[in-house]
Structure 1
């Protein structure tokens, strides 16, 4: 092809030379540019067709629907039209003030569970209108599938927004719906799962009560289902509540988790101020549906374990999940946590903090505790006293529900996800995050991932 192009250029130069007039020099240069540009376009089109062919072939083997790949790798799309999300994310105070004014004075209608269900009645339109097939996927991602456990109890709109952001047809997703939630939520999620073959509802549903064992059991149920899911040999499980939203693209998460190479991202500390949670037994009050202390002393944990405290959420390697579900000592611990307060913040942390258990995928620091630097799953802003504004939204249970003024900080965080957003509170905050992650996902193959922070965390001694 290169030789043919050279011959064409030489012939063109000969023809233009015969004309001899200096006025033709500009014409000659234009023709040469057109030919060179045409040649480069042929190469680009050929490359895109080859990549698309490979991706379609790969998905065909896994029985997924045909994937649409964005051809334009450099053009970002504007999903929010009333405000400028780029300026908001850059921290432009005037644009943030304008967006807040629009929300305050405008008529903003939020979607409902019924809207989600109705939209998913026509799967073809649902996938198209909600951009479930508008992203690039690399072979690196296909070779490193991720499993997700998603918990939802009241809002199909919120979980669909999250699912849309993290969905890839080669991953797998288990959604646990609170069994006592209203039928409109169950119907909406069921409709969505019928459109996505690798998304399913947990086989066993719990009546989830805050701070009770049922919250942990819901995750365990999904992990059992995911571990027995044979169509996708996932490498990690990430568990999420509906109110979280990604700060990294799927490709970025893959690159980071490949670097972790089986090491878990689990928060685990020894905190004496939380021992009240496990020193006495707790049970659910059937009238108030709240966890209350029985005042009875709780026996110590099994197998000489030290009780750890951490987040309910993490990135768990396949070996860790297998250990958690099948190891006899892990199951004894799980049973022991049933009458404690908030066992979801105890179980994973305790498996990690006890070095003598040989729990797979735990990296310890020089003091023998799980390395805090590897906790990169969730970014949370807790309410704290002192000067300075930590939260530009509002606090719920001492956790910031992010607003527009928080986005500039969030997009530079090292964690995978941010907790939390409400789709009906300062809704442009979540919508601008949608636009940001959508465009990064569409062009992620052209973006370099800064792995220095994660390498340093893993290699720190």
Structure 2
């Protein structure tokens, strides 16, 4: 461009050059930021993200079926949906696919919509921690992570040591895209009903306590086949009412003495009893049984991992059958004897406030899916009842079994996250 000497023209020329320089500077900065963010996602969560009412309107994630009618329990429509699932050939991603997608973090986060959050000040001031145990299927694990992910929370993922290399690689790639998602520092070869199942959770909890970047209030332990029934906002409101107390199922162990009166050992990949009778448990405690899953306050977790009495009790449970079903419940039951913090004061009566997960055991509740190890894998016919539960999560789903079940629950949960009053369903 040629600048003439006339005063007005010189001003016009200077303005144009300045604009051009500023444009070039911002464009270069944009390219640099894009390059830096390609391999790492660092969300800004200093202030709540506001979403307009237009953006908050219900959003369909499933287009070949009406999920609202499925969740409403329309029996005729449920039959139609089953026929659709039976006739349709679904294509599912695998571990290798997930690894490839997660290699390019910015694209991965865009595909799976990780940058779209509505966070209240209340949520930001009440960070949560999660442990996720997985032994197969990165697709299913990612679905759970996406549903519970918030950039101010923190997440520890335990992949079974004996799981496939493809799963380990996929989950490592996914975790690398977030500053607040990490793979546990010590993995276990998890064997059903053995101490390794409990140890996997404890390893993650140990890592979570060591992290200084997020001072979480509670930790929720999850298997990868669970899915949330409550939003993050709802979970925070519920746990604030708990006022530092944990939610742990506590039941009588009278029917299960055979699981802990004799020593057990792992033979092959199964836990079997020996002829060795165990000594009485320490401190005169009463053994209680409960769920593997709970919602544990930070003070309770710290006690469980670091108190000498808790560690002695943990050691006693190492050679029992399914110690993960006894350790948490026993600590809770005997809080008056061993001064366990972060618990309700009424022992067994606290069981009414166990809110961790809805599980449908065989012969105890209806199941419209199928049973695996006596637990219902939920189908579309279970959704109407599930969405009315007061528990935080439902266990369990297979994303490739009656796929509309998890797809429709995902759509329902996503839209509830953006609702005007997220606590109104409780």
**RMSD across aligned C-alpha pairs, in angstroms?**
1.5
Give the conservation status (yes or no) of the 8 Å contact 1:282–1:293. Answer: yes
Residues 115-142 of structure 1, C-alpha deviation per residue, up to 9 Å, x if partnerless?
A: 2111112111111111212221111000
Matched positions, count: 381
Instruction: Determine whether 1:233 maps to 2:233.
Output: no
In structure 2, C-alpha distance between the alignment counterparts of 1:442 and 1:75, rounded to whole Å = 8
1:427 paired residue number:
403
- Name 2:379's counterpart in structure 1: 403
Is 1:145 aligned to residue 121 of structure 2?
no
Cα drift, residue 73 of structure 1 = 4.8
Q: What residue is the counterpart of 2:370 in the other structure?
A: 394
Give unmatched runs, 5+ long, in structure 1. 1-62, 452-461
Aligned-pair CA distance for 1:281: 0.6
Question: CA offsets per residue over residues 14-61 of structure 1, 9 Å max, x none?
Answer: xxxxxxxxxxxxxxxxxxxxxxxxxxxxxxxxxxxxxxxxxxxxxxxx
Please point out which of 370, 373, 380 is paired with 2:359. Answer: 380
Task: Give the whole-Å Cα distance in 1 for the aligned partners of 2:405 and 2:131.
Answer: 24
Question: After TM superposition, which residue ranges in structure 1, 4 or more long, deviate above 6 angstroms?
Answer: none
Query: How far does the alpha carbon of each residue in 1:311-346 deviate from its partner, in whole angstroms, 9 at most, with x for none?
Result: 111000000001101110000011111110000111
SS in 2 for 1:371: helix
Paired residues of 1:69 and 1:133 also in contact (CA < 8 A): no
Q: Is 1:283 the equivalent of 2:265?
A: yes
Q: Distance in 1 between matches of 2:417 and 2:424?
A: 12
CA shift for structure 1 position 450: 5.7
**Corresponding residue for residue 327 of structure 2:** 347
2:291 is the alignment partner of 1:311? yes
Residue aligning to 1:360? 341
**Normalised TM-score (structure 1):** 0.80
Q: Which secondary structure does the structure 1 equivalent of 2:252 belong to? A: coil
Quick one: structure 1 residues 135 and 94, their matched pair in 2 at CA, closer, same or farther if it must change by over 3 Å? farther
User: 1:66 Cα shift?
Assistant: 4.1
C-alpha deviation, 1:372, in angstroms: 1.3
Between the aligned partners of 2:216 and 2:361, the Cα distance in structure 1 is: 32
> Which residue is 1:112 aligned to?
94
CA 270–448 in structure 1, closer or farther in 2 if over 3 Å, else same: closer
User: How far apart are residue 279 of structure 1 and its match?
Assistant: 0.3
Q: TM-score, normalised by structure 2?
A: 0.87
Name the one with the larger helix percent.
Answer: 1
Q: Any stretches of 5+ residues in structure 2 without a counterpart?
A: 1-40
Partner residue, 2:18: none
Corresponding residue SS for 2:176: helix
